[in-house]
Amino acid sequence: MTTPSEELQGLFGQLDIYLFDQLLRGRFDRRRRILDAGCGSGRNLPYLLTRGFDVHAIDEDAGAVAATRSLAQRLNVDADVRQGTLASLPWDDASFDAVICSAVLHFVADAGQLRRIVDEMWRVLVPGGLFFARLASSIGIEAHLPRSTGRVRLPDGSDRFVVDRPLLVQTTKALGGTLLDPIKTSVVDEQRSMTTWMMVKGGSWAEAAR
């Protein structure tokens, strides 16, 4: 007998729970051309691949690319999976309705690299396109860090580039974007913080919510 967890994993794989929330809220109902930027082994893709989305993915790691291609083959679906850098994406302007970037941006070396990558992901989004990112932040653990933005050693021992709320708000404004949701952060036992950054390319909040 299949357990509930086995059934859900068969349907959704290891889908990020915050990305699942966006699917539930209809944010992908009319956004069908998807880029997973920094796809890893494709943990966020099984549902999208098997539900008719036009899925594209990229990662710098050859092993991750091979794993994602193998996933698509096992699911018997087509997916455009490439090896390359997020700072120079091999797609034209306005190619995608949504860009997913989950647990990737905190590996950048500095603020300049962060902005170059975000600019590239923004470039390939259509007007009204959705930007979804999960990344490490200093929000809620400021007292345990030497600074609120930049490369730091987190209390859990990992080295990450962290952002704070002002940086996310300023970057959203500089891009001409709109925050689709309030900036949400999960603090794990004062050891690390993971923030969800949701933007839409242009438009008012009411338009963005559709």
- pLDDT exceeds cutoff 80 at 208: no
Q: What is the pLDDT of residues 53-105, one digit of tens each?
A: 999 999 999 999 999 999 999 999 999 999 999 999 999 999 999 999 999 99
Helix (H, G, I), strand (E, B) or coil at 129: strand
- pLDDT exceeds cutoff 80 at 205: no
Q: pLDDT confidence of 206, banded at 50, 70, 90? A: very low
**Number of folded domains in the chain?**
1
Provide the pLDDT for residue 203.
58
For residue 198, give both structure tokens. 């949701």
| Average of per-residue pLDDT across 46-54 | 95
Provide the pLDDT for residue 8.
85
Q: What is the pLDDT of residues 109-120, one digit of tens each?
A: 999 999 999 999
Q: Which of 88, 105, 96, 100 is nearest to 151 (CA)?
A: 105
CATH number, domain with residue 27: 3.40.50.150
Q: What is the pLDDT of residues 9-45, one digit of tens each?
A: 878 888 999 999 999 999 999 999 999 999 999 999 9
- For every residue of 6-68, which 3-state class applies, written as one string? HHHHHHHCCCCHHHHHHHHCCCCCCCCEEEEECCCCCCCCHHHHCCCCEEEEEECCHHHHHHH
For residue 4, give both structure tokens. 């509930």
For residue 158, give both structure tokens. 């990992």
The whole-model pTM stands at 0.93
> 181: domain range?
4-208
Q: What is the pLDDT of residues 137-177, one digit of tens each?
A: 999 999 999 999 999 999 999 999 999 999 999 999 999 99
User: CA–CA separation, 142 vs 193, rounded Å?
Assistant: 10
In single-letter form, the type of residue at position 54 comes to D
User: CA–CA separation, 102 vs 179, rounded Å?
Assistant: 17
